[in-house]
Amino acid sequence: MTPTPPSESPATTFSVALLQEFVRLGVRDVVLGPGSRSQALALAAAELERIGQLRLRVRIDERVGGFLALGIAVEKKRPVILVTTSGTAVANLHPAVLEAHHSGVPLIVITADRPDSLRGIGSNQTTEQPGIFGGAVRRTWDVAAPSGKPGETDAAAALARDALAAASGPVHLNLAFAEPLSSPVTFIAPDLEPLPETPERDPEHTLTVTPAEGTIVVAGTNSGPRAEEVARELGAPLIAEAASGAHFGPNLVVAYRELLHTELADAIDRVIVFGHPTLSREVPALIQRDGVETIVVRHASAEDYNPGRRVRTYTDALVVEGEPAPRSWAGRWVAASRALIEDVDTAPDIDADAGAHAKAELAAVRAPVTRRSLAEAVWRATWPHDRLVLGASRLIREVDRAVPGKRITVHANRGLAGIDGTISTALGIALASIDPGTTRVLVGDLTFLHDVGALLFGEGEERPRIQVIVGNDGGGTIFDGLEVADSAGPAFDRVLYTPQHAPIEALAAAYGWEYRTAQNRGELDQALTASVGPTIVEVPLPRE
């Protein structure tokens, strides 16, 4: 592709060459925040979208855009380009960059900047952008403003190749642009080459293990189904967090928190960890126990999992040799877990007559929604063609404590486990999903309000099939579990619980989302049926 007519702006010529090379290398998604200094990149991206070379998403809030890009990259498992202008726009990307860093999500962050002559003299919207993300990016380039000299387009293409090669997590391209900041550009649209498959990297180190009683497998976020396979091959109990990608299979132990305090746990002498466990205190405590060997299978995170710095063995892949341990080892764990999570209060009375049974059914439908029943209902409504995103609140722990095994796609931002950008991430996942299902995101009210700007769709922006389910208990009830909750006095509510009474229905109307409310279990099941467009489901919950 060659620009026609020739560009009069070196910024545009450089931007075109850079983005074209990314497209040639297989990058297909760009998320953009508007701004003057980045206009050459913005207009080039828009033109590339017009001729079908990439998909452009525009968001006015850079923090929203950052997490939207993260969600797209998570779903597609490919790098996404994130473009912003200079100044505070860059700083607003930091939360998403940190999450991508700790989760190993590939983001190509391209920020526009002033040339050297305008830095350090108090120029408007100018700050120290090179290195602004510190160690949270795999690599940073600070590129001088193009001036139209020969070789700059080749340099732009080479920069794209280097950035993509380094993008095992986020990378940062800080591009200085001088006036004129852009000029019109039109492409002749060629046939788009098929998107190349991303080759899987061969593991650098593979460890062979043999089955034995006393071994358990722990699967945290980003484990994937390999953790479940290894548990079956070993004949080991499987502790798989709800967002692990391994929360299924015959060896799954749901009530692991409780069982790690019983005599069953006394027999554990080897723990094999996949992903990043974050949802309990019991797992890190087990790993730090004397006499327990821990093997950690590395994943894309920037840091190795190492509670108490007690882990001595790391590997990139695991191979199991030998017959599984006797079924009695995993079977005791599975049976004990099932006994603990069985909901005897809602079990039907098989001896009841038809009238009594009908009354019991009606009572169940009219029963108030609890956190557990909300978690179970959302899990029950989600199927393999759907996507489920869990916010960092009490509700992800309710899901983790109660739901049975099911092989569905679940995501949570657990790299740093912040509430930032949860709705934005879910929207990115929904927009990138090729499956025809619904993306559901389960959040608390504070997580919802923290990312309420994500509800805004610009004119012409795609509106995916997504349900945001808000468990609204009026504040941060997760802090009610802190040791000081009963002794801190009135200050506790103000500085930790942070009560709120924002009208979620009014917010839904303001942003153009469909709104539903669920006051009981029957209404909740009805509200969770598949939605055509963006929908907010509010579920009032008691504080307790």
Are 167 and 28 within one domain?
yes
**What is the tens place of the pLDDT at every residue in 205-228?**
999 999 999 999 999 999 999 999
Are 380 and 475 within one domain?
yes
pLDDT at 4: 41
Is residue 59 a part of any domain in this protein?
yes
Is residue 191 a part of any domain in this protein?
no
Q: Which tokens go with 203?
A: 């593991």
User: Average pLDDT for residues 321-343, to the nearest whole number?
Assistant: 93
DSSP reduced 3-state for 57: strand
Q: Helices in 291-421 by DSSP H: which ranges?
A: 327-341, 354-366, 371-381, 394-402
Are 518 and 390 within one domain?
yes
Are 146 and 16 within one domain?
yes
Give me the half-sphere count of Cα atoms (radius 13 Å) on the Cβ side of residue 141: 23
Instruction: Name the pairing type of β-strands 387-390 and 439-444.
Output: parallel
Instruction: Report residue 299's pLDDT band, with 50, 70 and 90 as the boundaries.
Output: confident
- Among 58-62, 124-128, 136-140, 333-337, which is the least confidently predicted range? 124-128
Is residue 278 a part of any domain in this protein?
yes
Q: What is the number of structural domains in the chain?
A: 3
CA 313 to chain centroid, in Å, comes to 27
Are 303 and 415 within one domain?
no
Contacts (Cβ under 8 Å, ≥6 apart) of 478: 393, 394, 444
* Distance from C-alpha of 73 to C-alpha of 220, rounded to nearest angstrom: 19
- 288-295 own/partner pairs: CB under 8 Å, 24+ apart: 292/268, 293/269, 294/270, 295/207, 295/209, 295/270, 295/271
Instruction: Report residue 6's pLDDT band, with 50, 70 and 90 as the boundaries.
Output: very low
For 333-361, give one letter per residue: b (16+ CB within 10 A) or e: bbebbeebeeeeeeeeeeeeeeeeeeeee
Torsion angles phi and psi, residue 237, rounded to 5: -60, 145
DSSP reduced 3-state for 317: strand
Are 361 and 457 within one domain?
yes
Are 160 and 24 within one domain?
yes
| Last-in-domain residue among 306, 341, 376 | 341
Are 117 and 15 within one domain?
yes
pLDDT at 338: 94
DSSP summary character for residue 497:
I
Is residue 186 a part of any domain in this protein?
no
The vertex-441 CA angle with 307 and 244, nearest 5°, equals 35
C-beta separation of 522 from 505 below 8 A: no
Are 154 and 60 within one domain?
yes
Is residue 461 a part of any domain in this protein?
yes
**Looking at the predicted structure, is the pLDDT value of residue 346 above 80?**
no
CA 68 to chain centroid, in Å, comes to 10
- Among 1-15, 83-97, 232-246, 474-488, which is the least confidently predicted range? 1-15
* Distance from C-alpha of 71 to C-alpha of 100, rounded to nearest angstrom: 10
Q: Which residue has the tokens 């939605």?
A: 531
For 79-90, give one letter per residue: b (16+ CB within 10 A) or e: bbbbbbbbbebb
Q: Which tokens go with 329?
A: 């080892």
pLDDT at 492: 86
Q: What is the mean pLDDT of the chain?
A: 90
Is residue 229 a part of any domain in this protein?
yes
* Distance from C-alpha of 318 to C-alpha of 353, rounded to nearest angstrom: 55
Q: Which tokens go with 316?
A: 């990139």
**Looking at the predicted structure, is the pLDDT value of residue 470 above 80?**
yes
pLDDT at 192: 53
**Looking at the predicted structure, is the pLDDT value of residue 195 above 60?**
no
Give me the half-sphere count of Cα atoms (radius 13 Å) on the Cβ side of residue 49: 15
Is residue 346 a part of any domain in this protein?
no
Domain, as residue range, for 260: 206-341
| Last-in-domain residue among 341, 373, 405 | 341
CATH number at residue 455: 3.40.50.970
Are 232 and 375 within one domain?
no
**What is the tens place of the pLDDT at every residue in 434-467?**
988 999 999 999 999 999 999 999 999 999 999 9
Are 491 and 527 within one domain?
yes
**Which of 444, 440, 419 minimizes the C-alpha distance to 429?**
440
pTM: 0.91
Are 243 and 138 within one domain?
no
User: Average pLDDT for residues 343-365, to the nearest whole number?
Assistant: 57
- The percentage of residues in the chain with a pLDDT greater than 70, rounded to a whole number, is 91
Instruction: Name the pairing type of β-strands 387-390 and 409-411.
Output: parallel
Is residue 516 a part of any domain in this protein?
yes
User: Average pLDDT for residues 248-275, to the nearest whole number?
Assistant: 96
CATH number at residue 222: 3.40.50.1220
